[in-house]
């Protein structure tokens, strides 16, 4: 990479609160880092751990989830569901050796444009400090390791069959 | 799930809007369009100064025909503003309107990254790449048609509820009003002369009531209580109970309506015991108590407890505009940070009436601000000033202290910021707490209808600007102060708007709803029922027994499109990815993520 590395953060914002707040931040001309790219969904309750892991696996350095404050979800309790799954995800991240700070869940109401600005800036700096996650790269490394392993096994197999042809022939 | 019939290769038209400079002054739109043109499946990628203008929209319509585009992406302002505009344009071009994706590069692009054109441009490219990837997987969808009961239920027969019912009936749509109280009219009956017209609240309520009675298309059921609501837009089944003497439950009955207008109003804020001396002395009273008491006194002299009243004080903002850490939280732990909007003008109105009716009584006004914002409200301020009302201004974080003195009078201490922070102390015969509004206690209705509330506990609209009287539940509308503090004028405006919205919905024999509902791939469904457990809308997903080819029975999830709200919570828990959301499918999200983090990098590397 010739250019300086920039954190790539994917955000999932619910249509009713956080996405609207991000619009408000823009309308209020609040400046924030352009590193966070928002995907709109109807409700934060839609986000399952797989979405997040997929994003990381595809090369995101961090994932931000934004929903309505507790009690304000337009689908009654979608945000509680999101929270529950988020806690589960944190444990999965721990096991995978991925820093918890790379995935963040925030309640941001439609009126909180400033919070969008603050959270996005904080998150960008946090992920910048952690450095690239580069899961695709890691996958490649793992793939290479697997290939090497497979090659070694194949070689050993070949050696073994070379050593035992006589026995096999006898059986046949 | 119907198989995708056309495996036709995508021919996507991408349009990047300059928004007259709003976007192009920051984002290098030409470069964006050129880069996106390189993407697989993109047939044309153009820039226009105003995509939402007639020429902009016609360009889409013509290109679809000329270039036989089968997908369209517009990158412009927020989808809240023009997603529908462009869906319609796509439809005029002869394509299904859902083969469209809208990308926001203004509110969440140029406006947010003004000082970083390079960053804003890079972000725009990625967001559009995500839109392009998403739209490749978009499917043609049809809006869902449901039968429609062309009748509305209005919950609450205050001024707003009656107005909404009248507006509906005048458009030929029958309305049923259910109120918990026997007499319709709500709170305005209690306020005497109303600002800004000095009309009497009782008279006004009576007028509305007689109009309602005269209207053959309005049925009034009161006093009554709703006990159960089920169903969906066009088809709400409502069970209710007529109330007998003293609110005792009586006869039960049912009705079916196509839409519901919630107009359950407000309750005046009730101060806690001891809040500004409330309940510690009968000389501290709330505004409603004061209006009732003063209204019952003959003009001339005012006496309380056998003693002549010489001085009345009004304290603004009681129960409103509270500050965390300064005011004691409400029982639910929140403080009422909102402004109740009517209290300032009510104080001025009452102050003027006191000075007119009881000239020997002097009036003190303790406020943090005076928000006499409506047409004609300021006249009350001017008149109050002319009639010698004395004004004092405190800071919100230093609320006045109230105590009783040796004579039993009320004593108020505060720092007055009209005299640059001088400590003042005033004693008075009566202190009136200008209490604000709190929502009516309608927790049961909120649960039954799955309504959303704001942080202030009032009912919340879908969008404060663009859809101000619609709740997030399809077919449920909000009227009057159930939604927020309002003056009567504002409450009636909102009631009229809610009625117009409901009438538009109920005008036809069927209702059409957005096709963004869950669907089940039966081949993948294992019948685990997790989606049913996760769903907040009872009946939206049910398990049904299906025959297998071998003659056995299996359980499969089935979606009721009318009840499904399209939140996608079920999708998140399905272990086999058998359930999905039309228009917001897993595939679409996956490809968007890909567009955001990798497709654009591949482009950049080209
Ligand atoms: C002290 C005070 C003075 C005011 N003075 C003025 C003034 O001078 N001028 C002005 O413009 N505005 C004034 N207002 C504001 C005015 O009172 C409101 O704008 C108006 O009453 C709003 O009407 P509404 O129908 O929304 O609510 P409401 O008047 O509260 O009516 C609600 C109705 O719903 C019914 N209801 C409640 N819960 C249920 C339920 N669960 N089921 C069925 N029915 C239910 C109630 O019985 C009631 O009939 C004042 C407000 C206050 C607090
Ligand atoms: S709608 Fe915002 S979190 Fe559910």
State whether A39 and B111 contact (CB < 8 Å): no
Chain-centroid distance of CA B580 in Å reads 28
Quickly state the pLDDT bin for B7 (edges 50, 70, 90).
low
Give the closest residue to B129 by CA, choosing from B604, B600, B602: B600
Give the minimum alpha-carbon distance from B535 to chain A in angstroms, rounded to a whole number: 9
Cβ-based contacts of A30 with chain B (< 8 Å): 112
Ligand nearest to the CA of A72: 2
Q: Pairing relation of β-strands B235-243 and B218-221?
A: unpaired
Overall average pLDDT of the B558-564 stretch: 89
Tell me whether B424 touches chain A (CB under 8 Å): no
pLDDT tens for each residue of B570-594: 999 999 999 999 999 989 998 999 8
Q: Which residues contact B507 (CB under 8 A, 6 or more apart)?
A: B150, B171, B173
Cβ(A53) to ligand 2 under 6 A?
no
Residue B316: closest CA among B396, B408, B415, B388:
B396
Instruction: Reply yes or no on whether the pLDDT at B488 is more than 50.
Output: yes
- Contacting B residues, span 325-364, partner chain A, CB-CB under 8 Å: none
- pLDDT bucket at B126, cuts 50 / 70 / 90: very high
* CA-based nearest distance B393→chain A, Å: 29
Tell me which residue has tokens 């007529």: B242
d(CA B175, CA B177): 7
Using an 8 Å CB-CB cutoff, list chain B residues near A10: 593, 596-597
φ/ψ (deg, to 5) at B371? -105, 75
Whole-number percent of chain B with pLDDT over 90:
84
A168, pLDDT greater than 60: no
Q: Residue A45 is nearest to which of B123, B453, B568, comparing CB atoms?
A: B568
Q: Is B531 on the interface with A (CB under 8 A)?
A: no
- What ipTM did this prediction achieve? 0.83
CA A76 – CA B574 distance, rounded (Å) = 20
Sheet holding B401-404, edge to edge: B401-404, B410-416, B422-428
Does the structure show a pLDDT above 90 at B5?
A: no
Burial status of residue A107 (CB atoms within 10 A of its CB: 0-12, 13-18, 19 or more): buried
Tell if the CB–CB gap between A38 and B108 is shorter than 8 Å. yes
Write down the architecture of domain A9-133 according to CATH.
3-Layer(aba) Sandwich (3.40)
Nearest alpha-carbon partner for B428 in B210, B277, B600 = B277
> How close, in Å, is residue A73 to chain B by CA atoms?
7
Structure-block tokens of residue B365: 């006004």
Residues 6+ apart with CB under 8 A from B481: B158, B160, B265, B266, B437, B439, B458, B491
Please name the member of B116, B452, B584 whose beta carbon is closest to the beta carbon of A72: B452
If DSSP codes are grouped into helix, strand and coil, which group holds residue B191?
Answer: coil
Q: Which B residues in the span 548-577 are in contact with A, Cβ-Cβ below 8 Å?
A: 565-569, 571-573
Q: Please state the atom number of ligand 1 nearest to the C-alpha of residue B267.
A: 30
Report the alpha-carbon distance of residue B91 to residue B517 in Å, rounded.
Answer: 21
Minimal CA separation from A15 to chain B, in Å: 9
DSSP state of B158: B
Chain A's closest residue to B587, CA to CA, is A51
Tell whether B391 lies on the interface with A, counting CB pairs under 8 A: no
C-alpha span between B443 and B457 (Å, rounded)? 10
Integer CA distances (angstroms), B431 to A6, A60, A64, B110, B194, in order: 62, 62, 51, 53, 21
Tell me the two tokens of residue A143.
């793939």
Which ligand number lies closest to the CA of residue A20?
A: 2
Chain A interface mutation, best of B128, B478, B563, B596, highest count of A Cβ atoms under 10 Å: B596
The gap from C-alpha B263 to its chain's centroid, in whole angstroms, comes to 13
pLDDT band at residue B101, thresholds of 50, 70 and 90? very high
Least confident of B156-170, B275-289, B553-567: B553-567
Closest Cα to atom 14 of ligand 1: B487
Query: What is the Cα B139 distance to its own chain's centre?
Result: 31
SS3 letters across B362-389: EEEEEECCCCCCCCCHHHHHHHHHHCCC
Element (H, E) at B433: strand B430-435
Chain B nearest C-alpha distance from A159 (Å): 42
Ligand 1 atom showing the smallest separation from residue B224 Cα:
43
For B436-472, what is the HEC assignment? CEEECCCHHHHHHHCCCECCCCCECCCECCCECCECC
User: How far does residue B535's CA lie from ligand 2's centre (Å)?
Assistant: 14
Convert the pLDDT of each residue in B332-374 to its tens digit: 888 999 999 999 999 999 999 999 999 999 999 999 999 999 9
Site to probe by mutation for ligand 2, drawn from A44, A77, A116 as the one with most ligand atoms within 8 Å of Cβ, is A44
Instruction: Calculate how far, in angstroms, residue B468's C-alpha sits from the geometric centre of ligand 1.
Output: 19
Radius of gyration for the alpha carbons in chain A, expressed in angstroms and rounded: 23
Number of the ligand closest to the Cα of B460: 2
Q: Do B593 and A51 touch (CB under 8 A)?
A: yes
Spell out the residues 6+ positions from residue A149 whose beta carbon is closer than 8 angstroms to its own: none
User: pLDDT digits over B392-404, tens only?
Assistant: 999 999 999 999 9
Cβ of B123 within 8 Å of Cβ of A34? The answer is yes
What single-letter DSSP state applies at residue B107? I
Closest CA to B314 of B358, B284, B278: B284
User: From the centroid of its chain, how far is CA B443?
Assistant: 16
Q: Are B14 and B40 in contact (CB under 8 A)?
A: no
Q: For residue B467, what are the β-bridge partners?
A: B463
Dihedral sign of CA atoms B180, B182, B187, B188 in order: positive
Beta bridge mates, B147:
B510
Q: Cβ distance B15 to B73 under 8 Å? A: yes
Q: How does the average pLDDT of chain B come out, rounded?
A: 93
Protein residue closest via CA to atom 45 of ligand 1: B156
Cα separation, B278 vs B268, in Å, equals: 14
Amino acid B1: pLDDT: 39
Whether B28 has its CB under 8 Å from any CB of chain A: the answer is no
Distance CA(B98)–CA(B90), nearest Å, equals 9
Report whether A81 contacts B569 (CB < 8 A): yes
CA angle A40, A44, A46 (to 5 degrees): 90
Chain A residues near residue B594 by CB distance under 8 angstroms: 58
Report the separation in Å between the CA atom of A67 and the middle of ligand 2, taken as the mean of its atom positions: 5
Number of C-beta neighbours around residue A1 at 10 A: 7
- Cβ neighbours for B460, distance < 8 A, ≥ 6 positions apart: A72, A74, B451, B452, B453, B454, B471, B472, B483
Instruction: Give the pLDDT band of residue A172 (cuts 50, 70, 90).
Output: very low
B362-367/B100-104 β-pairing:
unpaired
Measure A79 CA to ligand 2 centroid, in angstroms. Answer: 6
Whether residue A148 has pLDDT greater than 90: no
pTM: 0.72
Walk across the sheet containing B311-318 and list its strands.
Answer: B284-286, B430-435, B311-318, B362-367, B390-393
Share of chain B above pLDDT 70, in %: 98
By Cβ distance, the residue of B112, B589, B592 closest to A31 is B112
Query: Which residues lie closer than 8 Å to B250 by C-beta, 6 or more apart?
Result: B241, B242, B243, B244
Tally of CB atoms within 10 A around B376: 13
Lowest mean pLDDT among A130-134, B125-129, B344-348, B596-600: B596-600
Q: CB under 8 Å to B62, separation ≥6 — which residues? A: B93
Q: What is the mean pLDDT of residues B140-150?
A: 91
Longest dimension (CA), chain A: 85
Partner residues linked to B496 by β-bridges:
none
Is B567 within 8 Å of A75 when comparing Cβ atoms?
A: yes
Residue B462 has pLDDT above 90, yes or no: no
Tell me the per-residue pLDDT of A57-107, one tens digit each, with 9 for 90 and over: 988 999 999 999 887 788 878 999 999 999 999 999 998 889 999 999 999
* pLDDT in the model for residue B144: 84
CA B477 remoteness from chain centre: 9
d(CA B286, CA B340): 15
Model confidence band, residue A166 (pLDDT cutoffs 50, 70, 90): low
Check pocket membership of B125 for ligand 1, CB cut-off 6 A: no
CA atoms within 13 A on the CB side of A106: 29
Between the alpha carbon of residue A26 and those of residues A13, A16, A29, B79, the distances in Å are 15, 16, 5, 14
A16 vs B contacts (CB less than 8 Å): 452, 462, 472
CA distance A29 to A36: 16
DSSP string, B485-523: ---HHHHHHHHHHHHHHHHHHHTSSEEEE-S--EEE-TT
Burial class of residue B20 (count of CB atoms within 10 Å of its CB; 0-12, 13-18, 19+): exposed
CA pair distance B525, B519, nearest whole angstrom: 11
Q: Find all residues with CB under 8 Å of A157, minimum gap 6, and list them.
A: none
Q: Spell out the residues 6+ positions from residue B488 whose beta carbon is closer than 8 angstroms to its own.
A: B159, B188, B194, B204
Among A17, A35, A46, A47, most B C-beta atoms within 10 A, so best to mutate, is A46
């Amino acid at each position: 990479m010739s250019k300086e590395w920039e954190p790539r953060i994917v955000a999932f914002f619910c249509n009713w609160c956080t996405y609207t707040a991000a619009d408000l931040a823009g309308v209020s001309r609040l400046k924030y880092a352009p590193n966070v790219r928002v995907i709109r969904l109807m409700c934060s309750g839609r986000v399952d751990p797989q979405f997040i892991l997929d994003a990381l696996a595809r090369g995101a350095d961090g994932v931000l989830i934004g929903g309505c404050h507790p009690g304000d979800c337009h689908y009654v309790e979608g945000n509680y569901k999101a929270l529950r799954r988020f806690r589960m995800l944190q444990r999965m991240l721990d096991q995978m050796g991925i820093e918890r700070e790379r995935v963040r869940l925030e309640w941001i109401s439609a009126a909180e444009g400033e919070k969008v600005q603050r959270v996005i800036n904080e998150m960008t700096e946090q992920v910048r400090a952690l450095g690239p996650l580069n899961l695709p790269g890691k996958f490649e490394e793992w793939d290479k390791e697997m290939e090497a392993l497979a090659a070694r096994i194949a070689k050993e197999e070949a050696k073994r069959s070379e050593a035992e042809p006589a026995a096999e022939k006898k059986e046949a | 799930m119907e198989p995708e019939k056309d495996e036709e290769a995508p021919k996507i038209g991408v349009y990047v809007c300059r928004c007259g400079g709003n976007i192009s002054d920051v984002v290098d739109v030409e470069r964006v369009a050129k880069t996106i043109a390189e993407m697989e499946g993109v047939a044309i990628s153009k820039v226009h100064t105003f995509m939402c203008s007639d020429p902009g929209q016609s360009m889409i319509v013509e290109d679809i025909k000329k270039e036989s585009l089968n997908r369209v992406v517009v990158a412009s302002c927020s989808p809240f503003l023009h997603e529908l505009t462009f869906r319609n344009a796509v439809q005029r071009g002869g394509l299904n309107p859902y083969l469209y994706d809208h990308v926001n590069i203004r509110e969440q692009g140029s406006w947010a990254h003004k000082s970083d054109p390079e960053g804003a441009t890079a972000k725009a490219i990625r967001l559009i790449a995500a839109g392009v990837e998403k739209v490749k997987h978009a499917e043609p969808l049809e809006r869902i048609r449901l039968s429609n009961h062309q009748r509305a239920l209005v919950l609450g027969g205050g001024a707003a509820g009656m107005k909404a019912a009248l507006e509906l009936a005048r458009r030929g749509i029958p309305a049923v009003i259910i109120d918990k109280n026997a007499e319709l009219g709500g709170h305005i009956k209690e306020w005497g002369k109303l600002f800004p017209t000095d009309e009497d609240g009782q008279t006004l309520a009576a007028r509305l009531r007689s109009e309602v009675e005269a209207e053959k298309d309005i049925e009034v059921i009161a006093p009554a209580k709703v006990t159960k609501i089920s169903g969906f837009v066009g088809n709400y089944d409502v069970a209710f109970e007529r109330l007998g003497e003293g609110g005792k439950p009586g006869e039960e009955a049912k009705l079916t309506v196509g839409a519901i207008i919630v107009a359950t109003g407000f309750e005046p804020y009730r101060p806690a015991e001891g809040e500004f001396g409330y309940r510690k002395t009968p000389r501290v009273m709330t505004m409603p108590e004061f209006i009732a008491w003063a209204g019952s006194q003959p003009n001339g002299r005012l006496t309380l407890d056998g003693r002549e009243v010489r001085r009345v004080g009004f304290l603004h903002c009681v129960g409103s505009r509270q500050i965390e850490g300064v005011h004691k939280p409400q029982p639910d732990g929140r403080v009422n940070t909102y402004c109740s909007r009517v209290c300032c003008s009510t104080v001025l109105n009452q102050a003027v009436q006191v000075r007119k009716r009881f000239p020997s009584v002097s009036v003190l006004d303790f406020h943090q601000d005076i928000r006499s914002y409506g047409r004609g409200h300021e006249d009350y301020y001017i008149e109050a000033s002319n009639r010698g009302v004395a004004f004092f201004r405190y800071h919100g974080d230093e609320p006045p202290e109230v105590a009783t003195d040796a004579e039993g009078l009320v004593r108020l201490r505060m720092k007055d910021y009209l005299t640059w922070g001088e400590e003042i102390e005033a004693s008075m015969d009566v202190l009136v707490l200008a209490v604000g509004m709190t929502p009516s206690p309608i927790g049961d209705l909120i649960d039954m209808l799955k309504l959303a509330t704001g942080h202030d506990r009032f009912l919340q609209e879908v969008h404060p600007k663009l859809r101000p009287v619609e709740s997030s539940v399809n077919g449920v509308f909000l009227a009057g102060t159930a939604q927020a503090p309002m003056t009567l004028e504002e409450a009636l405006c909102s009631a009229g708007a809610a009625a117009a919205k409901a009438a538009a919905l109920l005008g036809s024999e069927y209702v059409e709803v957005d096709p963004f509902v869950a669907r089940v791939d039966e081949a993948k469904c294992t019948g685990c029922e997790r989606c049913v457990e996760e769903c907040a809308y009872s009946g939206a997903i049910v398990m049904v027994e299906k025959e297998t080819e071998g003659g056995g029975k299996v359980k499969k999830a089935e979606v009721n499109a009318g009840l499904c709200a399209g939140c996608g919570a079920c999708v998140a828990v399905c272990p086999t990815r058998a359930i999905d959301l039309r228009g917001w499918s897993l595939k679409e999200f996956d490809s968007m993520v890909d567009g955001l983090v990798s497709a654009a990098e591949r482009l950049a590397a080209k």
